[in-house]
A and B are shown apart, each in its own frame.
Chain A
Amino acid sequence: MHLTDDQLNEYLDNETAERAQIETHLASCADCATRLTALQTLFAEIESLPDLALSRSLAPRLTPHALALPRWLTLTATLQAALALIAILLAAPVFATRLPVIQMPSFADLLLQLQSQWALFFDTITTYQLPTLPQLPPLEISTFVLSFTLAGASLLWLVGNGLLLRKQIRN
């Protein structure tokens, strides 16, 4: 009687309690030994598959996602929102009876209030007095000094801009 396929598989997987009996049989049965060798060859072939390289790294794409809120936390947030809504719905009738009734002003009253506020604002704007500036001591600068200072400032401005432009053109 030969070994079954299950026995051979379990023997090669080290998952049998009949190891000694199977080995005794294999030593005396060429057919079963050949079947075992064929199965071993298949194992070797399956496990010989080389690893393939990734076409792109997953790490840069994963890190931002990985930092996102964990699923259980987002579920909790949803649950919290639902519970809050239920609480509001339950509490609304209770608070409605206890709160004083709010008197809503009529549309005409609102318009009147708006008009009086505008009139007050307009009155404030039109009667506004600018604060008086303190008197500065009079400057006594001769025409020659003023002209000379303006010419000097213009010259400095021209030279400065010229230098800046030259630097930009070079770059």
Chain B
Amino acid sequence: MSSVAENIPATFSPPNLYYNSAMTAPTDRDLIVSAMRGDGDAFGELVARYQTNVFNVCYRILHERGEAEDLAQETFLRAHQRLDQFDFEREFGPWVRRVAANLCLNHLESQKVAAPLDEDRDADESQRPERQVEVRERSEQIRGALASLPPHYRVVVELRHYQEMSYDEIAAELKIPLSDVKSHLFRARKLLAEKLHAPD
């Protein structure tokens, strides 16, 4: 196993700039290196940057706010434990979102029980009230349709549509054959279309 020190780029200059908002904000890479050296504040800054993203990955898959927040927290704990495996050639955001998607899939598979839909509301405060209601209702329908999919289908939809991963990347991430990725994704879309475009 490669050590933490081996994974830290030699050209990196250690930052401690994130305490002072007047200075230039450190990059994710800077924060990761500081976190790898045991700087808890640096990791806290990474959490603050990506917590909404990660929470929404969990919420789209789990459809329950409390669970989604718990899994988002668990995602960051896992990410911290695996920082030594982080590839500095890649972005932290997509990496941590993939960790979240995998955790949610494992969580759903361990439950094997359909979770009830959350009463949460989607609303964009910048829009007119009537439009807000329309958006909210449609969002609820989409979330409801996503929640009705089997766990594997949900995760494949998440990775393809929200994390923009290729079929090959999804297959590698979920450790399933390419043919399964395609069948899960296409069937999921068919089911979603049936639910969302069914005549009233």
A contact residues vs B (CB 8 Å cutoff): 5-6, 9-10, 13, 15, 38-39, 42-43, 45-67, 70-72
Known contacts A5-B186, A63-B40; decide if A38 and B193 are in contact (CB<8 Å): yes
In the assembled complex, B173 has its CB within 8 A of some CB on chain A: no
With the chains together, A38 CA to B190 CA distance in Å?
A: 11
Is the Cβ of B190 less than 8 Å from the Cβ of A5? yes
Smallest beta-carbon distance A43→chain B, Å = 7
Is the Cβ of A58 less than 8 Å from the Cβ of B60? no
Is the Cβ of B186 less than 8 Å from the Cβ of A6? yes
With the chains together, A58 CA to B161 CA distance in Å?
A: 25
SS of B interface (majority): helix
Task: Write out the residue numbers on chain A whose beta carbons fall within 8 Å of the beta carbon of B196.
Answer: 42, 45
Classify chain B's interface size.
Answer: 35 or more
> Which single member of B47, B139, B189 contacts A50 (CB below 8 Å)?
B139
In the assembled complex, B9 has its CB within 8 A of some CB on chain A: no
Is the Cβ of A46 less than 8 Å from the Cβ of B55? no
Is the Cβ of A71 less than 8 Å from the Cβ of B81? yes
Is the Cβ of B122 less than 8 Å from the Cβ of A50? yes
With the chains together, A48 CA to B197 CA distance in Å?
A: 16
In this complex, which of A10, A45, A66 has the most chain B Cβ atoms within 10 angstroms of its Cβ? A66
Is the Cβ of B55 less than 8 Å from the Cβ of A54? yes
Known contacts A15-B166, A63-B44; decide if A49 and B38 are in contact (CB<8 Å): no
Is the Cβ of A51 less than 8 Å from the Cβ of B52? yes
B contact residues vs A (CB 8 Å cutoff): 1, 35, 38, 40-41, 43-45, 47-48, 51-53, 55-56, 59-60, 65, 69, 72-73, 76-77, 80-81, 120, 122-124, 135, 138-139, 142-143, 146, 157, 160-162, 166-167, 182, 185-186, 189-190, 192-193, 196-197
With the chains together, A59 CA to B31 CA distance in Å?
A: 14
With the chains together, A49 CA to B123 CA distance in Å?
A: 10
Known contacts A9-B186, A46-B142; decide if A58 and B162 are in contact (CB<8 Å): no
Known contacts A15-B166, A42-B192, A62-B73; decide if A57 and B48 are in contact (CB<8 Å): yes
Task: Write out the residue numbers on chain A whose beta carbons fall within 8 Å of the beta carbon of B193.
Answer: 38-39, 42
Task: Write out the residue numbers on chain A whose beta carbons fall within 8 Å of the beta carbon of B138.
Answer: 45, 48
Known contacts A5-B186, A54-B52, A59-B44; decide if A49 and B143 are in contact (CB<8 Å): yes
> Which single member of A39, A51, A66 contacts B189 (CB below 8 Å)?
A39
Q: A-B pairs with the 5 shortest C-beta distances?
A: A59-B47, A63-B44, A67-B40, A66-B80, A59-B44
With the chains together, A158 CA to B159 CA distance in Å?
A: 81
Determine the residue in chain A with the shortest Cβ distance to B75.
A58
Task: Write out the residue numbers on chain B whose beta carbons fall within 8 Å of the beta carbon of A48.
Answer: 138-139, 142
Is the Cβ of B51 less than 8 Å from the Cβ of A58? yes
Is the Cβ of B166 less than 8 Å from the Cβ of A53? no
With the chains together, A66 CA to B166 CA distance in Å?
A: 32
11 contacts between A and B (CB under 8 A): A13-B167, A39-B193, A42-B189, A48-B142, A50-B139, A54-B52, A58-B47, A58-B51, A59-B44, A61-B73, A63-B40
With the chains together, A130 CA to B77 CA distance in Å?
A: 67
Is the Cβ of B161 less than 8 Å from the Cβ of A46? yes
Task: Write out the residue numbers on chain B whose beta carbons fall within 8 Å of the beta carbon of A5.
Answer: 186, 190
With the chains together, A13 CA to B184 CA distance in Å?
A: 14
